[in-house]
């Protein structure tokens, strides 16, 4: 068990964001969090990453209370890829990925050969080796996102938390990022937890899905169990057509206009 | 990356030494470089050169040069830190109102004639130092929300407190008519009429501050990615930010209190160094210190020799020299990148 969450409540200036949430994520799972805007998906992810503190309730991470970990310990076990990666200092992609080694180094310690090997392999896994010497400020959105994932991998995490990793990318890059994550998940046994808006991608890649509605769990389970016409209509107030992808059987969703 | 430090440190040190030698030798009395080297290494015995030369070198020019080294290095190092943890390329050591606070302190000391206390000690540096640190304290407290200091809030409150204090300075100027030109010159910044005491007063603050910043240079790298991203990489964000603010403000306050406000060095030197050597702060911090020292010794030499017997405020020279050079670098970089 990577995460065990009990009765999690989170309030922000007396506005309730998450209410009585229970959730567990298994080791090695590819887990997605879906739901409408403003239902607390990103908040939940930040709580799991230890950046926000719960108002009430409990988050256990790898068997221990999340609060017991100091920032450095945490940074060696989990990594976070956020949605907005704006960087205005012209670091090279390689230097950015090298920062992923921060939690393993002392103040004046110079990176060892091992650190550089880990960085190189992280860049290979994310296909960013060819842009290693380019400035992060000159990269396209998709390239920058992959560099940020490489930085997260350089932390050698058991869990990778991602906040909408495919937002703002074209379809080629979307599949590219998701495939890279899938390979990491299956080959390197990295547990993946992500917030994602694209229900087709969520349905295709996830082992399990959490559907949030107004800060509460609406449904959890396999993609077929969660992504149903009834659930989606209820939570998103939108009529959709869902059928089965003929070859692999994951739910396939078609959006329908309200006026046409 | 780390190689550039080993490669360029000796080079810049050599350049600094050459500029120091030139700076000692030129002025209202020209003294040859060979005579200076002989004086330093004692191969000339007393009486073999005029006593006046000895006094000029060791009592007037050298302390002033050392002060320029310290102020130039200090402002540049503080500038690097402010730009990095505020994530703002426009930041300089004075951005959060340190200079305004120091100016209020200095202004008050002129107003109450504290600069002539006992006719020996001037309390102006002490007043300026207190004013500067008090300002940072106020700005920090103002931006503290739920145990966190968001950099945007910190920057904004710094600018606002700064403008309020500048209004106070104008008011003090208005009141202290006879000392008006003193305050104006103080604000313009100058390294004139300084002695070894000023150098030794400044040194401990600069050393402590710079060492603390350099020890945190890896954290400084990570902090440029943002508070949240730094947290995910294991930085204790608020604690680190507090340490960085204290260290860089201490450096700035100390330099302002002895030299007044010397603009541009702390803004431009970090950019020049980053453009040439990249953004790794383990390299950028020490090299900025060196480049800042070189720039200010050079500018101050021009300041006291260009219009003899008049002195040009050194801040004017740094801006006149720095801005065109910066533009040149900016253009050159643009063409090679796109």
Q: Averaged over A21-30, what is the pLDDT?
A: 95
Name the minimum distance, in Å, from the CA of B147 to any CA of chain A.
13
- Name the more confident of A8 and B108: A8
Domain assignment present for residue A260? The answer is no
By Cβ distance, the residue of B218, B224, B225 closest to A107 is B218
Q: Which residue of A has its CA nearest to B87?
A: A88
Contact B236 A71 (CB under 8 A): yes
Interchain proximity A102–B280, CB inside 8 Å:
no
pLDDT recorded at residue B8:
87
Residue A155 lies in a domain: yes
Give pLDDT, residue B335.
Answer: 42
Over residues B57-68, the pLDDT tens digits come to: 888 889 999 999
Helices (H) and strands (E) in chain A, counts: 9, 12
Q: What is the DSSP letter of A85?
A: -
Inter-chain residue contact B274 with A89, CB threshold 8 Å: yes
Query: Which tens digit of pLDDT belongs to each residue from A238-259?
Result: 989 999 989 988 999 998 888 8
Predicted confidence at residue B326, as pLDDT, reads 78
Task: Give B75's pLDDT tier (boundaries 50, 70, 90).
Answer: very high
pLDDT at B222: 94
d(CA A167, CA A156): 24
Contact (CB, 8 A) for B214 and B84: no
For residue A81, give the chain B residue with the closest CA: B229
Domain ranges in chain B are 2-337
Cβ-contact A177, A150 below 8 angstroms: no
Selection from B327, B268, B279 nearest residue B84 by Cα? B279
CATH number of the domain encompassing residue A81: 3.40.50.300
Whether A71 and B279 lie within 8 Å, measured CB to CB:
no
Is residue A228 in some structural domain?
Answer: yes
Nearest to A51 among B87, B231, B337 (CB): B231
| Out of B215, B232, B280, closest to residue A80 by CB | B232
Is the model more confident about B35 or about A162? Answer: A162
For chain A, percent of residues with pLDDT exceeding 70: 100
Task: Tell me the pLDDT tens digit for each residue of A132-171.
Answer: 999 888 898 889 999 999 999 999 999 999 999 988 788 9
Average pLDDT over residues A22-28: 95
Return the minimum-mean-pLDDT range out of A83-92, A175-184, B267-276. A83-92
Distance CA A48, CA B56 (A): 67
Q: Which of B221, B232, B336 to mutate to test the interface with A (most CBs of A within 10 A)?
A: B232
Do residue A100 and residue B215 have CB atoms under 8 angstroms apart? no
Angle between helices B281-305 and B265-277 (to 10 degrees): 130
| CA distances to A12, A72, A80, B282 from A110, in Å | 41, 18, 24, 10
Q: Please, are residues A243 and A253 in contact by the beta-carbon 8 Å criterion?
A: no
CA-CA distance, A54 to A67, in Å (whole number)? 10
Residue B230 Cα, gap to closest chain A Cα (Å): 10
The CA distance from B71 to B69, in Å, is: 6
Q: Which of B209, B216, B272 is nearest to B246 (CA)?
A: B209
Q: Which residue has the higher pLDDT, A200 or B327?
A: A200
What homologous superfamily does CATH list for B2-337?
ABC transporter involved in vitamin B12 uptake, BtuC (1.10.3470.10)
Least confident of A6-15, A44-53, A187-196, B50-59: B50-59
The secondary element (H helix, E strand) that includes residue A146 is helix A141-154
Residue A45: inside a domain: yes
Average pLDDT for residues B170-198, to the nearest whole number? 81
How many separate domains does chain A show?
1
Task: Output the furthest CA–CA distance in chain A (Å, rounded).
Answer: 64
Between B238 and B3, the higher pLDDT residue: B238
According to DSSP, the β-strands at A56-61 and A208-213 are unpaired
- pLDDT at residue A104, rounded to an integer: 95
C-beta separation of B67 from B206 below 8 A: no
Bond preceding residue B309 cis, omega within 30 of 0: yes
Calpha distance B60→B24 (Å, rounded): 9
Q: Which of B233, B280, B281 is the best substitution to test chain A (most A C-beta atoms within 10 A)?
A: B233
Alpha carbon B191 to its chain's center: 11
pLDDT band (50, 70, 90) for residue B80: very high
List the domain range (segments joined by +) for residue A220. 3-255
Share of chain B above pLDDT 90, in %: 48
Residues A206-246: tens digit of each pLDDT = 999 999 999 999 999 999 999 999 999 999 999 899 999 89
Report residue A174 CA to chain centroid gap. 14
Do B279 and A95 meet the contact criterion of CB atoms below 8 Å apart?
yes
Residues of chain A contacting B218 with CB distance shorter than 8 Å: 102, 105, 107
Structure tokens, B256: 């302002």
Give a yes or no: residue A90 inside a domain: yes
Query: Does the beta-carbon distance from B231 to A100 stay under 8 Å?
Result: no
What's the rounded mean pLDDT across residues A108-116? 88
Mean pLDDT of B78-97: 91
Q: Which residue has the tokens 């300075």?
A: B169
């Amino acid at each position: 068990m990577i995460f065990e969450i009990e009765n999690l409540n989170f309030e922000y200036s007396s506005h309730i964001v998450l209410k009585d949430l229970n959730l567990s994520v298994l080791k090695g799972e590819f887990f997605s969090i879906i739901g409408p805007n403003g239902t607390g998906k990103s908040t939940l992810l930040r709580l799991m990453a230890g950046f926000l503190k719960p108002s009430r309730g409990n988050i256990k991470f790898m068997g221990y209370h999340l609060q017991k970990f100091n920032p450095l310990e945490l940074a060696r076990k989990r990594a976070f890829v956020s949605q907005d990666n704006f960087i205005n200092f012209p670091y090279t992609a390689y230097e950015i990925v090298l920062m992923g080694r921060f939690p393993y180094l002392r103040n004046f310690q110079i990176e060892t050969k091992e650190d550089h090997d880990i960085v190189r392999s992280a860049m290979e896994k994310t296909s960013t080796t060819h842009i290693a010497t380019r400035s992060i400020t000159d990269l396209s959105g998709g390239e920058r996102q992959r560099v940020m994932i490489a930085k997260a991998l350089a932390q050698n995490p058991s869990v990778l938390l991602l906040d909408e990793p495919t937002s703002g990318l074209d379809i080629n890059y979307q599949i590219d990022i998701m495939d890279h994550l899938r390979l990491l998940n299956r080959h390197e046994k990295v547990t993946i937890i992500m917030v994602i808006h694209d229900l087709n991608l969520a349905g295709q890649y996830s082992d399990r899905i959490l559907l949030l509605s107004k800060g509460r769990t609406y449904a959890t389970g396999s993609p077929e169990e969660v992504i149903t016409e009834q659930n989606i209509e209820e939570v998103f107030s939108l009529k959709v057509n869902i059928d089965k992808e003929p070859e692999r059987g994951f739910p396939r969703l078609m959006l329908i206009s309200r006026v046409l | 990356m780390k190689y550039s430090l080993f490669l360029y440190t000796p080079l810049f040190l050599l350049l600094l030494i050459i500029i120091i030698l030139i700076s000692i030798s030129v002025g209202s009395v020209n003294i040859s470089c060979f005579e200076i080297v002989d004086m330093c290494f004692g191969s000339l015995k007393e009486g073999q050169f005029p006593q006046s030369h000895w006094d000029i070198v060791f009592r007037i020019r050298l302390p002033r040069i050392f002060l320029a080294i310290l102020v130039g290095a200090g402002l540049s190092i503080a500038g690097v830190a402010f730009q990095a943890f505020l994530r703002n390329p426009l930041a300089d050591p004075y951005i959060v109102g340190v200079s305004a606070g120091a100016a209020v302190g200095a202004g008050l000391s002129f107003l109450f004639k504290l600069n002539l206390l006992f006719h020996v000690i001037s309390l102006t540096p002490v007043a300026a130092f207190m004013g500067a640190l008090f300002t940072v304290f106020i700005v920090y407290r103002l931006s503290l929300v739920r145990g966190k200091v968001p950099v945007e809030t910190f920057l904004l409150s710094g600018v606002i407190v700064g403008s309020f204090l500048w209004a106070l300075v104008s008011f003090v100027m208005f009141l202290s008519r006879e000392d008006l030109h003193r305050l104006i010159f103080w604000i313009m910044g100058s390294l004139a009429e300084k002695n070894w005491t000023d150098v030794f007063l400044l040194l401990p603050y600069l050393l402590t501050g710079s060492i603390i910043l350099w020890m945190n240079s890896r954290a400084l790298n990570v902090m440029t990615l943002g508070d949240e991203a730094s947290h995910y990489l294991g930085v204790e964000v608020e604690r680190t930010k507090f340490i960085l603010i204290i260290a860089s403000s201490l450096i700035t306050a100390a330099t302002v209190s002895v030299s007044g406000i010397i603009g541009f060095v702390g803004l431009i030197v970090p950019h020049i160094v980053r453009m040439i050597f990249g953004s790794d702060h383990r390299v950028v911090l020490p090299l900025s210190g060196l480049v800042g020292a070189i720039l200010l010794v050079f500018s101050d030499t021009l300041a006291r020799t260009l219009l003899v017997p008049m002195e040009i405020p050194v801040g004017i020279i740094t801006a006149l020299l720095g801005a065109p050079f910066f533009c040149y670098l900016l253009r050159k970089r643009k063409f090679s990148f796109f």
